[in-house]
Amino acid sequence: MAPRRRDDMEFGATELALAAQRFGDDRAAGWFAEAADWATSYLDGDGRGSLGIADVSAMAHADLAPHLDGEIRDRLAEDLRGHLRDAVTFAEKDPFGSGVAYWSWDSVPKTFGLVLTEAYYRRLTGDQEFTAFAGRQRGWALGANPWGRSFVIGAGTRSLDCPSHAIANLTGQSPVGAVVNGPNAAEQFKELNTFPTMRACPSDGSNALAEFDGAGARFLDHAGAWASAEVAIDFTSTALLAFALSAH
């Protein structure tokens, strides 16, 4: 099985086991065992990644580990720690302290994924080594970034004005709380998703944030800039969970 599917199987088996345990279903132990097998296969593979749209291993590890003992539990905790340690190393080399490559896809959900991973790791181990780092990453997504924009609409001091969202474009009302992809590789903006009946946003079609682009990255606040300003449910759900766990 492809490495990026093993995390899904681990997560699915874990959630089945937890549901069975809660309702007294005698299949719980078997599903926990299957989840542990998938977790081991994931850890031994070469396709491991940080929490985001394509990898839910952190969520699976956090739910599964409390029900395991010995080496496998320690390995799950260490995998969470490893993702955070790698992100810290990455951020130390970035002038704005970002733990993700914001010149690539899904930089904002991946940033919230780091916030989530830290919360899961801290809940599992009690270790607060990365708590301040997670706070800085949350701040990056909310405006402490080169463009000075929050990528959560309506949150922070200043968020984007022109989301790539059909209803928002028709009504002129931005979907408050929605999350966008954020910055992306500059080459992704050669063609914008525009059409004759679209309400121009910004009205003059300009890129007011162009001077802040750099490192091959661009953030374009434009209704046609789907590569940076498109609203997505999966982006938003990741952020909502990150905020919920942070508040808790």
44-56 confidence digits (pLDDT tens): 987 666 777 778 9
**Res 116: pLDDT:** 96
Higher pLDDT: 172 or 218? It is 218
In a domain, 170, yes or no: yes
Domain contains 121? no
> What is the average pLDDT score of the chain?
92
Structure tokens, 245 = 């766990």
Considering the domain boundaries, does residue 192 fall inside one? Answer: yes
Confidence of residue 34 (pLDDT cuts 50, 70, 90): very high
Q: How confident is the model over 94-147, as pLDDT tens digits?
A: 988 999 999 999 999 999 999 999 999 999 999 999 999 999 999 999 999 999
Residue 30 within any structural domain of the chain: no
Q: Is 122 domain-assigned?
A: no
**What is the tens place of the pLDDT at every residue in 198-213?**
889 998 988 999 999 9
Q: Where are the alpha helices (DSSP H) in 143-190?
A: 166-171
In a domain, 247, yes or no: yes
Q: Which pTM value belongs to this model? A: 0.92
Report yes or no: 38 and 45 within 8 Å, Cβ to Cβ: no
Q: Residue 22 domain-assigned?
A: no
Closest by Cα among 165, 169, 213 to 189:
213
Q: Which residue has the higher pLDDT, 91 or 46?
A: 91
**Residue 15 falls within a domain, yes or no?**
no
How many distinct structural domains can be found in the chain?
1
Range of the domain at 219: 145-248
